[in-house]
Amino acid sequence: MVAIILPDLCRKGWWQGAAGLAAAAAFLAGAAWVPGLMLIALAVAHNATPVGFLAERLKGRARTLAMAWCAAVFVALPAAIAAGAGRVVAQAAGLYVPDYALLPVGVLADHLRVYVPAMWTAEAWAADLFAAAVFMQCMHYVVVVHVLPPLLVSQGERRAHSAVGGWRGLALSFSWRNPCFWVAYAWLISLFLADFTNARYAYGLAAAVHAWIEIPLLLLALPASGAIAVMGNARSSA
């Protein structure tokens, strides 16, 4: 998918084309030599893609503040959790029960391989890596569902599409304030309650598709060389 957008990236500028080429080469090399590890790396790394969309959408002080928050949420906190800080805090509070689950899904060790390479799943710190990846995934959805939609669609556009109606208007107004959000949420929860294993497989397929799509979109969001020059001139004149 990255290869498909390479011509567009090259038209934007040489470094955008180089970034796309490097990404495509990395994906091909990983798929050829360490496919399992590559899939896990993509599953974890794609959780940070909303950071790029925030950087593209926001400007000035708002972007600086957002990037500071993202550094804490997507880098510092996951690193601390992976280092065991989350486990230590939970143990101190008497809340560390790694195999507890609301659904009959088995023990934690049965799921570590989703985010932890097979050669590390037996290590004592494998659960910490898993927890860090799950935390990043939760933060990914917080940004995608609650933070990005108001930024990607202006108030005027939202009002216009809501007046028109239809599927596009529904998608643009889809937020936690919309009853449709809770209907969809209840439907997804019911699927997992009815059959967790098959629901997880279906979700995993959809998640894999959206993860693979996000990276080309993030590359396309890279500003053109001319836009960078304009922004630089604006900052210097300010």
Q: Where are the domains of the chain?
A: 36-152
Cα distance between residue 228 and residue 232, in whole Å: 6
What letters, b where the CB count within 10 A reaches 16 and e where it falls short, cover 116-128? bbeeebeeeebbb
Burial of 156 (0-12, 13-18, 19+ CB in 10 A): exposed
Least confident of 31-40, 100-109, 149-158, 192-201: 149-158
In this prediction, residues 117-135 reach a mean pLDDT of 93
Q: What is the pLDDT of residue 196?
A: 81
pLDDT value at 82 more than 60: yes
User: What is the value of pTM for the model shown?
Assistant: 0.75
Cα distance between residue 91 and residue 62, in whole Å: 37
**Structure tokens, 24:** 């495509």
Maximum distance among all alpha carbons in the chain? 61
Q: Which contacts of 116-124 are long-range, i.e. CB under 8 A and separated by 24 or more positions? A: 116/40, 117/36, 117/37, 117/40, 118/36
**H-helix or E-strand spanning residue 210:** helix 196-220
Q: How many CB atoms lie within 10 A of CB 53?
A: 19
Report DSSP state, residue 48: G
pLDDT value at 228 more than 50: no
Q: What is the pLDDT of residue 177?
A: 67
Rounded (5°) CA angle 36-37-42:
100
Report DSSP state, residue 144: I
Cα distance between residue 147 and residue 185, in whole Å: 18
In this prediction, residues 173-202 reach a mean pLDDT of 78
